[in-house]
């Protein structure tokens, strides 16, 4: 669920707040918080601070980039985003307020930052990690509505839906899904089919070798060798320097189908870990990889 919390500066006329609240319901996003004046912004913010890479990408994608005055140290896309030393992991109230924001957009309420911003009357839009594509679409529309770019957000969502549906149609149908191992780091943490990433892979005819209630389990090398995945995705090249060559050189891994068939693929770990507009790029990339399996490597 998308949650928006506003401070006293976000209080507008009662009628306007009611209308905007109804629009949020129509968009499929609920307003959270216990305060009576929690609603969407009654005016268009002119100075926005984003302390989450995903929300930064959403803001620029809906056309609110010119309103963004500062983003956190992890927001490396798009290139024109005004990157600063602000931290989303350990947010500092005074440092954020130095940019005099009308609106702060974030993912997590670390350091109880929402309460701090609320006390000084700064509007806050919280966008938690999406659980599926529909939540991504709803959050993009929420960002658009909160920043005065509702039309652009609707157009973006329509475009994303159409593009992803078209990409999925290009993937060859298989009677049995391909098995994969998505490596999050070099200690073999991975994803199951029940995660956001797992659902993306599922759309493209893939099934994780990992199972269980924990969506992000740590596997043993023995388990991976036993399950013998047909495709390996590496989301740890940037962080950990893992390459297809290093994977192939691991003890016993040379016998894996993915290694023999050269189906070890490096993913952009930022694109693979963020649930914003660039999820289309992830779907396209994985679709191309899947289409190249069966002895036709794509890299």
pLDDT in tens, 66-83: 999 999 999 999 999 999
250/189 Cα distance (integer angstroms)? 16
Q: Let me know the angle formed at the C-alpha of 261 by 259 and 266, rounded to the nearest 5 degrees.
A: 60
Q: How far apart are CA 48 and CA 44, in angstroms?
A: 10
pTM of the model: 0.82
pLDDT at position 250, please?
A: 96
Residue 221 is inside which H or E element, if any? helix 221-227
CATH superfamily of 173-292: Nitrogenase molybdenum iron protein domain (3.40.50.1980)
Residue 255 DSSP code:
G
Residues of the chain short of pLDDT 50, as ranges, are 1-41, 295-299
Q: Where are the domains of the chain?
A: 48-158, 173-292
CA dihedral 197, 168, 135, 13 (to 10 degrees): 150
- Taking CA atoms, 12 is separated from 20, 39, 42, 102, 126, in Å, by 11, 10, 5, 14, 20
Residue 55 in contact with residue 107, Cβ under 8 Å?
Answer: yes
CATH class of 48-158: alpha beta
3-state SS class at 103: strand
Q: Identify the pLDDT of residue 294.
A: 64
pLDDT of residue 256: 97
pLDDT, residue 115, reads: 97
Contact 68, 50 (CB under 8 A): yes
Contacts of 78 (CB under 8 A, 6+ apart): 57, 60, 65
Map residue 32 onto helix, strand or coil. Answer: coil
Cα–Cα distances (Å) from 241 to 111, 150, 236, 281, 289, in that order, read 31, 40, 7, 22, 21
How much is the pLDDT for 42? 55
Q: Are 133 and 199 in contact (CB under 8 A)?
A: yes
Strands 264-266 and 231-234: what pairing? Answer: parallel
Three-state DSSP at 49 gives strand
CB distance 117 to 124 below 8 Å: yes
Do the domains spanning 48-158 and 173-292 agree at the CATH topology level?
A: yes
Q: Which residues pair with 231 in a beta bridge?
A: 180
Question: Among residues 287, 223, 281, 296, which one has the least CA distance to residue 77?
Answer: 281
174 C-beta neighbours (distance < 10 Å), count: 12
């Amino acid at each position: 669920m998308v949650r928006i919390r506003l401070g006293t500066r976000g209080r507008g006329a009662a009628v306007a707040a009611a209308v905007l609240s109804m629009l949020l319901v129509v968009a499929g996003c609920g307003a959270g918080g216990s305060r009576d004046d929690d609603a969407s912004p009654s005016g268009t913010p002119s100075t926005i601070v984003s302390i989450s890479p995903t929300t930064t990408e959403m803001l620029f994608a809906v056309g609110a980039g010119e309103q963004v005055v500062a983003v956190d140290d992890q927001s490396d896309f798009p290139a024109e985003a005004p990157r600063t030393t602000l931290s989303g992991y350990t947010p500092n109230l005074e440092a954020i307020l130095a940019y005099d924001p009308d609106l702060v957009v974030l993912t997590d309420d670390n350091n109880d930052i929402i309460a701090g911003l609320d006390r000084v009357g700064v509007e806050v839009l919280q966008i938690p990690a999406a659980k599926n594509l529909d939540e991504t679409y709803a959050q993009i529309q929420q960002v658009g509505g909160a920043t005065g770019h509702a039309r652009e957000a609707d157009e973006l969502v329509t475009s994303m839906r159409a593009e992803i549906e078209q990409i999925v149609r290009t993937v060859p149908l298989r009677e049995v899904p391909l098995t994969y191992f998505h490596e999050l780091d070099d200690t073999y943490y991975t994803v199951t089919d029940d995660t956001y990433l797992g659902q993306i892979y599922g759309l493209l005819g893939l099934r994780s070798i990992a199972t269980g209630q924990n969506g992000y389990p740590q596997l043993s090398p023995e388990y991976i060798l036993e399950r013998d995945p047909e495709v390996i995705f590496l989301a740890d090249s940037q962080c950990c320097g893992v390459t297809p060559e290093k994977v192939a050189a691991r003890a016993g891994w040379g016998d894996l189908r993915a290694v023999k068939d050269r189906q070890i693929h490096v993913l952009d770990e930022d694109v693979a870990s963020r649930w914003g507009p660039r999820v289309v790029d992830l779907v396209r990339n994985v679709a191309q990889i899947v289409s190249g399996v069966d002895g036709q490597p794509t890299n």
